[in-house]
Structure 1
Amino acid sequence: MDWQKGGSSNNVEVDSGSGGGGRGFGGGGRMGIGGLIVLAILGWVFFKNPLALLDQGGSQSYAPTQTSVPAQVDPQQKAFVSAILHSTEQTWGEIFQAKGATYVDPKLHLFSGGVSTACGGATTAVGPFYCPSDQKVYLDVAFFQQLQDELHSSGDFARAYVIAHEVGHHVQKLTGVFDKVDAARRSGAPMDGADGLSVRQELQADCYAGVWANHSQQELNWLQPGDIESALNAASHIGDDTLQQQAQGRVRPDTFTHGTSAQRVKWFKTGFSGGDMDQCDTFAGKP
């Protein structure tokens, strides 16, 4: 991925280390694809059960933070993050404008170790996530370094896909999806499970990541051979079914929160092939 072709966003923040402990996340914070990739990496690299970090796969609450330290951000890493975020800003700004709406750029907050947010506190183990309460994407600086050191980078576009997925949650916030899902949750609608609202919400963010990939490629022609495959490979490794089978030797659809590997690949490809966010209605019919 020739990401240097992109511009640079002014919405990247670097944590000063002033944050401390915080309460765990409730229903507001979304772990998203990034957190699952972190869990998968921990399992692959350190031969641990990745679902143990998710309380046996059944909890979405995040642990209280450890005291954070000032984030030491490599200039190249920040430049990459800024370029991808800027591309998402361009894409979604144009899409919203075409629909007669205004896209409000999210902030992307780089931290190290732990962070306090408007949704509560989180540690490195959570991975990249989106907090709708402050409309920020949070990314631990160690995440991409771990991809580079332990998995030999796995492709810039796979990393860009993670950011685009979390920005997809921001799109959901602006379009009212978060509020609708929260209202449905309060009314007793099922969140977890193969047909649950959590799965549908995550798959829609995957689809939105595909929409971004389509538009950014048309604008910048920055994808190289193997880039799309690297993103699809990442998606195929962090489906609920794949993680559960690897960790527990069995699959429990009733505990799904993010969708199967096949679903994640399907919805990213849906967004990428058409570049149309209207095709990303994962809440209609079977996901």
Structure 2
Amino acid sequence: MRWRNTRQSSNVDDRRGQGPAQSGLPAAALLRFIPFLLKTKVGKLILVVGGLYLAFQYFTGGPGMVGVQQGSGPLQQQTSSGSKLPARDEDAQFVAAILGTTETVWRQLLNDQYPEPQLVLYENMTQTGCGMGQAQSGPFYCPADSKVYLDLSFMDELKKLGAPGDFAFAYVIAHEVGHHVQNVLGTHKQVAQQQQQASETEANRLSVMIELQADCYAGVWGYYVHHDMQLLEPGDIEEGLQAASSVGDDRLQEMAGRAVQPDAFTHGTSAQRVSWFKKGFASGNPKDCDTFQSLE
């Protein structure tokens, strides 16, 4: 992708280099383990050592204090909305550039009635409006706080899944932003209400529809990135399609050595994900992304 000369979004919150406490983990979540530790000698020893450590951090200004934000230092590269990411950090610069293109596209399509989401870069785990976010779950969108959460290690996971390339990762970002579009349009709330009253199989089916629509919205974004912004290079589309295929429920179940169980699908098959991305990319029209009508 020709992304280096594009506008970078200012809506990036860089929490990398921070511990769980600095990234928003409430002290109560840590303190709840104290009763269990008090029941054993080893647990009591852990509490004593931990207390001494926290005291040391308190008096030296170290990073270990729960809920205390320290001054600027090498680990305080937090980039709140409006500030810039380190110029040497190309992966983070790429994420900010892709997020910027999604802002341009969806502002245009929604007639400027588009509250831009914030994207949080983190490592391993971070506090979110939807609970504790963990890198092992992959990139995700939290409708409660309208933020996309992303650990850059997922770039390596995509490669392991057979989907390398910058556009493959860009597709992932665009897919998560697609969930934000659903939140803005009220689709997420409607589906969540239906899922509360549905059986597990039906709830999974509704989840598949939501995910495939986000794939289609990613395709819509791709249409404008290609035709209007002219950012795509030869091979980019194939990278995006491979990424969509690599995260299909059937493929992931097979890779895990499990039998394919359609009733347990929550994101759709590889073929479905590719198909809906292609549909959005072909037209650039969000109205063509009605997965709910098509899958009934």
Normalised by the size of structure 2, how large is the TM-score?
0.74
Counterpart of 2:23 in structure 1: which amino acid? G
Task: Give the Cα–Cα distance (whole angstroms) in 2 for the partners of residues 192 and 264 of structure 1.
Answer: 19
Corresponding residue number in structure 2 for 1:247: 256
> What pairs up with 1:140-155 in 2 under 5 angstroms?
140-144=151-155, 147=158, 154-155=164-165
- What are the ranges of 5 or more consecutive residues in structure 1 without an aligned counterpart? 25-66
Q: What's the RMSD between the two structures over aligned residues? A: 2.7
Contact 2:212/2:273 (<8 A) preserved? yes
For residues 10-68 of structure 1, the C-alpha deviation after alignment (integer angstroms, 9 at most, x for no partner) is 101111440365799xxxxxxxxxxxxxxxxxxxxxxxxxxxxxxxxxxxxxxxxxx9x
Q: 1:240, 1:267 → 2: CA distance?
A: 15
**Aligned partner (choices 209, 220, 226) of residue 217 of structure 1:** 226
Partner SS state of residue 5, structure 1: coil
Where in structure 1 do 4 or more consecutive aligned residues deviate above 3 Å? 20-24, 69-74, 145-148, 150-153, 190-195
Q: Deviations over 1:188-224 (max 9, x none)?
A: 2246469710000000000000000001112221111
| Pairwise CA distance, 1:236 | 1.3
Determine the C-alpha separation between the residues in 2 that align with 1:253 and 1:262.
Answer: 13
| Gap regions ≥5 residues in structure 2 | 30-65, 67-74, 79-85
Q: Contact 2:129–2:145 (CA<8 Å) still a contact in 1?
A: yes
Q: Distance in 2 between matches of 1:184 and 1:141?
A: 33
Q: Check 1:184–1:213 CA distance in 2 against 1; reply closer, same or farther (3 A cut).
A: same
**Deviation of the 1:124 alpha carbon:** 1.5
2: CA distance, partners of 1:90 / 1:6: 11
Structure 2 residue identity aligned to 1:13 = D
Residue 246 of structure 2 is aligned with which of 226, 229, 237? 237
* Maintained 8 Å contact 1:114/1:124: yes
Report what 2:23 is aligned to.
19
Deviates more, 1:161-170 or 1:72-81: 72-81
Paired letter, 1:104: P
Q: 2:131 aligns with which of 96, 99, 120?
A: 120
Q: Is the 8 A contact 1:193 1:256 kept in 2?
A: no
SS in 2 for 1:3: coil
Q: What does residue 289 of structure 2 align with?
A: 280
Letter in 2 for 1:171: V
Measured in 2, the distance between the counterparts of 1:249 and 1:139 equals 27
Give the corresponding residue for 2:140.
Answer: 129
Residue identity over aligned pairs, in percent, reads 47
AA in 2 matched with 1:165 = H
* Offset of residue 248 of structure 1: 2.9
User: Deviation of residue 122 (structure 1)?
Assistant: 1.7
2:183 is the alignment partner of 1:179: no
Partner residue of 1:61? Answer: none
Distance 2:106 2:119 in 1: 15
**Partner Cα distance (2:185, 2:104) in 1:** 17
The one-letter code of the counterpart of 2:171 is: Y
Instruction: Supply the distance in 2 between the matched residues of 1:280 and 1:258 (Cα, whole angstroms).
Output: 15
Q: Given the alignment of the two structures, is residue 9 of structure 1 paired with residue 20 of structure 2, yes or no?
A: no
| Contact map agreement 2:11 2:119 (CA 8 A) in 1 | yes
Give me the whole-angstrom Cα distance separating, in 2, the residues matched to 1:229 and 1:160. Answer: 13
Q: How many residues align?
A: 240
Mapped to 2, the partners of 1:127 and 1:71 lie a distance apart of: 22
Bigger Rg over Cα: 2
Letter in 2 for 1:19: S
C-alpha distance in 1 between matches for 2:249 and 2:164: 20
1:217-248 CA-to-partner distances (Å, cap 9, x unmatched) read 12221111111101111211221111112323
Structure 1 residue 6 displacement after superposition? 1.7
Matches of residues 7-86 of structure 1 in structure 2 within 5 Å? 7-15=7-15, 16-17=18-19, 18-19=22-23, 21=25, 75-86=89-100
1:189 aligns with 2:193: no
User: How far apart, in 2, do the equivalents of 1:266 and 1:112 lie?
Assistant: 32
Higher relative contact order (CA 8 A, sep 6+): 1
Cα gap change, 1:195/1:86 in structure 2, threshold over 3 Å: closer, same or farther?
same
Aligned counterpart for 1:199 among listed residues 198, 203, 208: 208
Partner letter of residue 6 of structure 1? T
The alpha carbon displacement at 1:143 in A equals 2.3
Shift of 1:254: 0.8
